[in-house]
Chain A
Amino acid sequence: MAYIVSFILAIVSYMVIDNVILSRYFGICSFIGVGNKVKSAVGMGLAVTFVTMMAALVCWPIYTFILVPAKMQYMDTIVFILVIASLVQMVGFFIKKKSISLYKTLGIYLPLITTNCAVLGVVQNNTAYDFGRSMANALGTSLGFVLVIFLFACIRVRLEGANVPKAFKGVPIALIVAGLMAIVFMGLGGMIDLGSWGLI
Chain B
Amino acid sequence: MNILKNTYVKCALVLSCICVASAGLIGGLNAVAEYYKETHKSTEAPAHIKALKSGANFVEVENFTPTSFTGNNTKSTITAVYALMEGGKPTGYAYEVNCGKPVKTDVVFSVLFEGPATEATKNSVKPSAINLVEGGMMGGDAGYDVNVAKLGDSIVAGTASMNDESGVVSGGTKSQKFLLDGLQFARTDYVARINGGSVTPVEKTPLEEIYGDNFKSSTEDTTFTKLTGTTDNCSYEITTRYEVTLKNSTVTTAYAGETSFTDPEEGGTNKVAIVAAFSGDKTTVTLDGYKLTKNTGYNDYKTWLEKIKAGTVSFDDESAVETGSTYSTKAVRDMLLAMRQDYIANYKSEIGKLYGADYVSDVADEFTALAATTSHCSYEISKRYTVTLTSGTGKAYEATTSFQDPEGETDVMKFIAAFSGTATDVKLNGYKFTKNISWDDYKGYVDGVKAGTTSLDDEGAVHTGSTLSTNAVRDTLLAMRADYIASLGE
A–B contact via C-beta, under 8 angstroms: yes
A195: chain B residues at CB < 8 Å are: 104, 138
- How distant is B338 from chain A, measured CB to nearest CB, in Å? 54
> Nearest Cβ distance between residue A72 and chain B, in whole angstroms?
8
B124 within 8 A of A: no
- Does B349 reach chain A (CB closer than 8 Å)? no
Q: How far is the CA of A168 from the CA of B27 in the complex (A)?
A: 48
B104 contact set on A, CB distance < 8 A: 195, 200
- Cβ of B22 under 8 Å from chain A: yes
CB pair B138–A74 under 8 Å, yes or no, is: no
CA distance A195 to B137 in the complex (A): 9
Q: How far is the CA of A72 from the CA of B27 in the complex (A)?
A: 8
In the complex the two chains form, what is the Cα distance from A66 to B313 in whole Å? 58
**B423 proximal to A (CB < 8 A):** no
Closest partner residue, chain B, to A194 (CB atom): B138
The answer to whether A200 touches B138, judged by C-beta atoms less than 8 angstroms apart, is yes
List of A residues within 8 angstroms of B30 by Cβ = 74
A124 to B22 Cα, complex, angstroms: 20
Q: Which residue of B lies closest to A73 (CB)?
A: B30
Name the residue on B nearest A74 (C-beta).
Answer: B30
B123-154 with Cβ < 8 A to chain A: 138
Provide the residues of chain B in CB contact with A75, threshold 8 Å.
23, 26
Instruction: Give residues of chain A (143-177) contacting chain B, Cβ–Cβ below 8 Å.
Output: none
Contact between chains at B138 and A78 (CB < 8 Å): no
Shortest C-beta distance, A165 to chain B (Å), equals 35
Distance (whole angstroms) from the CB of A164 to the closest CB of chain B: 34
> How far apart sit A148 and B87, CA to CA, in the bound complex (Å)?
61
Docked Cα-Cα span, A75 to B30, in Å, equals: 10
A interface residues, tally (CB under 8 Å): 6
What are the interface flags for A68-89 relative to B under an 8 Å C-beta threshold, 1 for contact and 0 otherwise?
0000101100100000000000
Residue of B nearest to A189 (CB): B141
Determine the chain A residues whose CB is within 8 A of the CB of B27 once the complex forms. Answer: 72
Least CB distance from A200 to B in Å reads: 6
A183 to B445, CA, bound (A): 48
Q: How far is the CA of A195 from the CA of B142 in the complex (A)?
A: 11
How many angstroms between the C-alpha atoms of A75 and B27 in the bound complex?
9
Which residues A182-196 have CB closer than 8 A to chain B? 195
B26 CB contacts on chain A under 8 angstroms: 74-75, 78
In whole angstroms, how far apart are the Cα atoms of A195 and B140 in the complex? 13
Q: How far is the CB of B251 from chain A (nearest CB, A)?
A: 34
CB-nearest residue of chain B relative to A195? B138
Least Cβ–Cβ distance between A62 and chain B, in angstroms: 15
Residues of B within 8 A of A72 (CB): 27
Complex CA–CA separation, A155 to B361 (angstroms):
84
Give residues of chain B (9-31) contacting chain A, Cβ–Cβ below 8 Å.
22-23, 26-27, 30
Task: Give chain B residues whose Cβ lies under 8 Å from the Cβ of A74.
Answer: 26, 30
Contact with A along B18-61 (1 / 0, CB 8 A): 00001100110010000000000000000000000000000000
Specify the chain A residue showing the minimal Cβ separation from B143: A190
Q: Which residue of A lies closest to B141 (CB)?
A: A189
Give the distance in Å from the alpha carbon of A72 to the alpha carbon of B29 in the complex.
12
> In the bound complex, what is the Cα–Cα distance between A200 and B104 (angstroms)?
9
Chain A, Cβ-Cβ closest to B30: A74
A39-64 vs B, CB cutoff 8 Å, 1 = contact: the mask equals 00000000000000000000000000
* CB nearest to B105 among chain A residues: A200
Residues of A within 8 A of B23 (CB): 75
Complex alpha-carbon distance, A73 and B26, angstroms: 11
Whole-angstrom CA separation of A72 from B22 in the bound complex: 13
The CA-CA distance from A116 to B16 in the complex, in Å, is 25
Bound together, the chains give a CA A74 to CA B26 distance in angstroms of 8
* B32: min CB distance to chain A, Å: 12
Closest Cβ neighbor of A82 among chain B residues: B19
Residues from chain A with a CB closer than 8 A to the CB of B22 are 78
In the complex, what distance in Å separates the CA atom of A200 from the CA atom of B137?
Answer: 11
Q: How far is the CB of B12 from chain A (nearest CB, A)?
A: 14
Smallest Cβ distance from B297 to chain A, in angstroms?
A: 53
Q: Which residues of chain B from 219 to 270 have any CB-CB distance to chain A below 8 Å in the complex? A: none
Q: Write out, one digit per residue, whether chain B residues 100-122 have a CB within 8 A of any chain A CB (1) or not (0).
A: 00001000000000000000000
Nearest residue in A to B29 (C-beta to C-beta)?
A74
* In the bound complex, CA of A28 to CA of B323 (Å): 84
B22 to chain A, nearest CB (A): 7
Distance, CA A75 to CA B28, complexed state (A): 12
Across the interface, which residues of A come within 8 angstroms of B138, CB to CB?
195, 200
Measured CA separation A75–B20 after assembly (Å): 12
Shortest distance between the CB of A119 and any CB in chain B (Å): 21
Nearest CB on B from A71, distance (A): 9
Smallest Cβ-Cβ distance to B104: which chain A residue:
A195
- In the complex, what distance in Å separates the CA atom of A114 from the CA atom of B53? 46
Residue of A nearest to B103 (CB): A195
Q: How far is the CA of A188 from the CA of B138 in the complex (A)?
A: 18
Q: How far is the CA of A74 from the CA of B104 in the complex (A)?
A: 28
A75 to B23, CA, bound (A): 8
B:449-467 near A, CB below 8 Å? none
A78 and B27 alpha carbons, distance in the complex (Å): 13
Q: What are 11 sample pairs from A and B whose C-beta atoms fall under 8 A apart?
A: A72-B27, A74-B26, A74-B30, A75-B23, A75-B26, A78-B22, A78-B26, A195-B104, A195-B138, A200-B104, A200-B138
Query: Can you list the 10 inter-chain pairs with the closest CB atoms, starting with the nearest?
Result: A74-B30, A195-B138, A195-B104, A74-B26, A200-B138, A200-B104, A75-B26, A78-B22, A75-B23, A78-B26
Additional A-B contacts beyond A75-B23, A195-B138 (9; CB < 8 A)? A72-B27, A74-B26, A74-B30, A75-B26, A78-B22, A78-B26, A195-B104, A200-B104, A200-B138
